[in-house]
Chain A
Amino acid sequence: MKIVTSDVLPSLEEQGVRQLYSKGPNVDFKKELRSLNSELQLHILELADILIERPSQYARRIEEISTVFKNLHHLLNSLHPHQARSTLIHIMELQIKRRKQALEDIKRRREVAQRILNESLATLDGH
């Protein structure tokens, strides 16, 4: 059986948003999230500056801040499949552990029952 997951999260390009973090199969989530956070702080500072120096230029800064936020949320949303698989792995490990314990339990009780049966047969034969 082949395990397949289908992601329904549309990529940023599909939504018409510029992607700021590096693409590729294995994204370093922590690093990209931290770098997006720093970039965000920088943009906010630049916005404050531009409102002092050239207030009419605010639109571009706002657009950049908005892009960073969209990237942040998209990155966080793409963590959900990873989280789902981790949860599945955890549940399966718990289930296997429970089943193995049940197996040991049954084996032990069968042995005890067998022993009691043999003892009682021996007792009966003795008479």
Chain B
Amino acid sequence: MDIISQLQEQVNSIANLALNTIGTLQRDAPPNRLSPNYPEPPAHPTEDGANFSEEPKLMSASLVKAAKQFDVLVASLPISETGEEAQIKRIAELQAENDAVGQELQKQLEAAEMELNQVQELYRQATDNCLNLKKPDVN
């Protein structure tokens, strides 16, 4: 996959990770005490306390890892600082060179074609002469 698509996929996966991280944490967070006037909220029986404190660490680790991977991909972008005008200028140069080589190629091809015809003509004459020398006996 080309580098730009990889970068775009990485951005999307960072978005997914962020969504999952915030969403999961918000959904599974144990209730907090709002004010001393209210009673202590009941401890959630099914949620494993130890498990829950591990989740943010794991999820934030993968989020940061994804961000670092993005940075690595950005570093491997093969972009020269030359910009649009320099590229267009290079394309024009290459086009001129291509035209020149094309014309030279055309000339060589035509010359070779002509020489081929000459050789074929010579060969025809040679075979004719050979056949004439070996005329069959008409007796």
Contacts and interface: CB of A to CB of B under 8 A. Distances in A.
Interface of A: 1, 3, 25-26, 28-30, 33-34, 37, 40-41, 44, 47-48, 51, 65, 69, 72-73, 76, 79-83, 85-86, 88-89, 92-93, 95-96, 99-100, 102-103, 106-107, 109-110, 113-114, 117
A113 B119 contact: yes
Interface string B87-108: 1101110110110011011001
A48 B29 CA distance: 12
Nearest to B119: A117
Contacts of A76: 4, 7-8, 11
Majority DSSP secondary structure for residues of A touching B: helix
A83 B4 contact: yes
B81 interface: yes
Contacts of B21: 44
21 contacts: A3-B91, A3-B92, A25-B84, A28-B81, A30-B74, A33-B74, A40-B14, A44-B21, A73-B8, A73-B11, A76-B4, A76-B7, A76-B8, A82-B79, A89-B87, A92-B95, A92-B98, A100-B101, A107-B108, A110-B108, A110-B111
A92 B79 contact: no
B112 A106 contact: yes
Contacts of B14: 40
Contacts of A107: 108
B109 to A, nearest CB: 7
A64 to B, nearest CB: 12
A85 B87 contact: yes
Contact of B75 (A30, A65, A69, A95): A30
A65 B91 contact: no
A29 B67 contact: no
* 8 cross-chain pairs, A with B, having the tightest CB-CB distances, nearest first: A92-B94, A85-B87, A26-B83, A33-B74, A106-B108, A99-B101, A72-B11, A44-B18
Given A1-B95, A47-B22, A85-B91, A103 B105 contact: yes
